[in-house]
Amino acid sequence: MATFLFDKIIFGPVRSRRLGVSLGVNLLPADRKVCNFNCIYCECGWTRHDHLSQKLPSRTDVRELLREKLMEMGSHGTPPDVITFAGNGEPTIHPDFPGIIDDTIALRNELCPGASVAVLSNATMINRPEIREALMKTDRNILKLDSAFDETVKIHNQPGSNYTIAETIENLKLFGGNVVIQTLFLRGEYNGLAIDNTTARELEAWLDALVEISPREVMIYTIHRATPAGSNLKKVPEKELEQIAARVKELGIAVQVSG
């Protein structure tokens, strides 16, 4: 099974399907995924059980390497559209995440004021006020919600035992609408269980959750590269994603589709 890992702290720029010309920031190790989810569709592969013992990049290294890359891009007249925290797992588990966000915003303001700052997160850490505060400082805090049902999330995302959808939705509501919800739709089979978060039941509950959260935007997409679970997982056709998007628009919420 092929996986896709980012081998540097600062990577790219890459052409993002959702964000444009994106300069990536990886706050996790370069040789493995470090995450508190174990999503069956993750392009970085499975989460290893010894991941918490791995050394993470220092705040100083992130700041200096980001400064160096932004200065280089600026000298070439090609600043990024967005500085994106993504990489090999969940960025908000880094113990210096709030400070790194402050550093990044300061560097952006100094060196590429036209760029935005985005974070791709699974929303597991937003129960912590300091994480919410840091995310609120960014231009686009993009937080995952693949289903409104715990039983579906347990299969799709395989979170820790303390994760619940009810608590996650309540915490997402604390952003007061200043949040982008990201949802990956897929279908297929995993460990003998049928998977499909596009059923009528799934979509109705997910749409109800969006009404509660009232995000400023929703991003919907489907699998793109090889996945840990292999060929048993199937893409949802773009036409169906567009149909789901139309229902989001009916709620008065902006939506972006990546097929």
> pTM of the prediction?
0.92
Cβ-count burial 65-94 (b if 16+ within 10 Å, e if not): ebbebbeebeeeeebbbbbbbbbbbbbbbb
DSSP output for 96-138:
THHHHHHHHHHHHHHH-TT-EEEEEE-STTTTSHHHHHHHHHS
Domain boundaries, given as residue ranges, for the chain: 10-258
CATH topology of domain 10-258: TIM Barrel (3.20.20)
Give the pLDDT of residue 169: 98
**Tokens 């891009």 — which residue?**
73
Give the pLDDT of residue 49: 65
- Alpha-carbon gap, residue 7 to 31, rounded angstroms: 7
Residue by residue, pLDDT tens for the chain (259 residues) are 445 777 899 999 988 766 778 999 999 998 888 899 999 998 888 877 654 556 899 999 999 999 999 999 999 999 999 999 998 999 999 999 999 999 999 999 999 999 999 999 999 999 999 999 999 999 999 999 999 999 999 999 999 878 999 999 999 999 999 999 999 999 999 988 889 999 999 999 999 999 999 999 999 999 987 676 666 899 999 999 999 999 999 999 999 998 6
- Alpha-carbon gap, residue 37 to 22, rounded angstroms: 24
